[in-house]
């Protein structure tokens, strides 16, 4: 085992997935420049409230796996817990390698007083998270994870157990219950006097501020939730701004106050897969070319203040996104991720014709 402490080991850590998944047709290589930014502990705002130590496993002189130990002070303060996390887990199909990686994380976190370890999160539930355990026959949508089927077996053999499952629902225009979509959207918003509007790109900063406040309030009771700092939220919004379709970023207002929002992103993974992780020399042109052909969209976040949840406003947002997305040419969508015990959101997805087709798991280790 080797801790990542210098430039060479950091490069090795970042490079490993690109070699590991080289022959996997479903893996979508993230842009290397974005990965470097995510791991920049001096500049990325996540690390203002968190620590992370990365490790490499070597076997026969070659990198055989990687993992990161994560200590998120915001999470522990919010939940009054002594929890640690692991993330960015990748390994060859070898139990000894997987066990050694997880053991290294455990030892590092135990030295910092942690009582329970969960993961994978990359690096928190506000980013990509969960291990894919069902639905390996297609590429992931934007900001969703992908891994080989054997990962779950290795992790469970090391003693980790299920903490929570996360569901992804898929819907195609041919499966949509269109009459119900119209009915749900109209009833939910008219009954509750909710005015729906798209994000204002000319007032992007001001609208992001409104969404940030609702996000932290609406999700505060969700399992595994950790509030995002303002800097962190705006940092993520800046990255998303280049791919946002304004008609698919919706704010719901009652008497001028935002009570909910919905964010759907065009599935830029359909373009990224052709760039193989690099913008240059040809990657940028490939992304721009294939971006024009994207007909899929992911509902990435949907938050409603507690007062309006049982009134069907969440389902109304789903329906409104569908209603606006179809004229824009989007034909397939994913609603993800949804906690397995978030009955309202699961039923809302199913009500409109969504089918659960992928399951992700967060593991726990006492």
Q: Would you say the CATH fold of 170-358 matches that of 2-169?
A: yes
CA distances (Å), origin 22, targets 26, 49, 133, 136, 186: 10, 34, 21, 16, 47
Dihedral sign, Cα of residue 176, residue 179, residue 182, residue 184: negative
pLDDT at 283 (0 to 100) = 84
- Among 95, 91, 141, 140, residue whose Cα is nearest residue 120: 91
What is the rounded distance in angstroms from the CA atom of residue 91 to the CA atom of residue 175? Answer: 37
User: What does each of the 366 residues of the chain score in pLDDT, given as a tens digit?
Assistant: 999 999 999 999 999 999 999 999 999 999 999 999 999 999 999 999 999 999 999 999 899 999 999 999 999 999 999 999 999 999 999 999 999 999 999 999 999 999 999 999 999 999 999 999 999 999 999 999 999 999 999 999 999 999 999 999 999 998 887 777 778 777 878 888 999 999 999 999 999 999 999 999 998 888 999 999 999 999 999 999 999 999 999 999 999 999 999 999 999 999 999 998 988 777 888 888 888 899 999 999 999 998 887 777 888 898 899 989 999 999 999 999 999 999 988 988 898 889 999 999 999 998
Query: Which pairing describes strands 195-198 and 355-365: parallel, antiparallel, or unpaired?
Result: unpaired
Contact 101, 66 (CB under 8 A): yes
Distance, in Å, from the CA atom of 8 to the CA atom of 344, rounded to the nearest integer, reads 48
| Fold of the 2-169 domain | Aminopeptidase (3.40.630)
Residue 86 CA to residue 347 CA, distance in Å, equals 31
CATH architecture of 170-358: 3-Layer(aba) Sandwich (3.40)
Domains of the chain: which residue ranges? Answer: 2-169, 170-358
pTM for the structure as a whole: 0.95
Whole-number pLDDT of residue 294: 96
pLDDT value of residue 7: 94
What is the reported pLDDT for 46?
Answer: 98
Pairing between strand 121-122 and 116-119? unpaired
């Amino acid at each position: 085992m080797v801790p990542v402490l210098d430039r060479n080991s950091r490069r090795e850590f970042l490079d490993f997935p690109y070699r590991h998944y080289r022959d996997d047709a479903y893996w979508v290589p993230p842009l290397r420049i974005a990965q470097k930014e995510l791991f920049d502990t001096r500049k990325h705002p996540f690390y203002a409230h968190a620590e992370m130590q990365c490790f490499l496993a070597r076997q026969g002189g070659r990198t055989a796996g990687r993992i990161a130990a994560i200590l998120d002070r915001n999470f522990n303060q919010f939940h009054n817990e002594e929890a640690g996390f692991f993330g960015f887990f990748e390994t060859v199909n070898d139990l000894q390698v997987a066990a050694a990686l997880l053991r290294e994380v455990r030892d590092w976190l135990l030295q910092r007083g942690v009582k329970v370890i969960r993961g994978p999160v990359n690096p928190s539930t506000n980013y990509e998270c969960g291990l894919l355990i069902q639905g390996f026959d297609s590429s992931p949508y934007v900001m969703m994870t992908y891994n080989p089927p054997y990962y779950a077996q290795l992790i469970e053999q090391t003693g980790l157990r299920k903490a929570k499952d996360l569901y992804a629902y898929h819907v195609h225009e041919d499966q949509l219950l269109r009459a119900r979509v119209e009915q749900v959207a109209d009833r939910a918003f008219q009954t509750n006097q909710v005015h729906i509007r798209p994000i204002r790109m000319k007032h992007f900063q001001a609208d992001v501020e409104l969404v940030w406040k609702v996000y932290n309030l609406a999700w505060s009771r969700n399992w595994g939730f950790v509030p995002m700092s303002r800097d962190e939220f705006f940092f993520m919004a800046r990255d998303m701004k280049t791919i946002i379709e304004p008609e698919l970023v919706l704010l719901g207002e009652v008497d001028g106050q935002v009570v909910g929002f919905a964010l759907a992103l065009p599935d830029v993974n359909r373009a990224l897969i052709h760039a193989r992780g690099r913008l240059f020399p040809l990657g940028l042109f490939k992304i721009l070319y294939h971006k024009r052909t994207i007909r899929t969209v992911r509902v990435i976040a949907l938050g409603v203040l507690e007062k309006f949840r049982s009134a069907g406003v969440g389902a109304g947002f789903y329906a409104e996104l569908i209603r606006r997305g179809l004229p824009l040419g989007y034909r397939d969508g994913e609603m993800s991720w949804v906690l397995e015990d978030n009955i309202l959101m699961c039923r809302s997805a199913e009500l409109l014709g969504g089918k659960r087709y992928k399951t992700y798991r967060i593991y726990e280790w006492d």
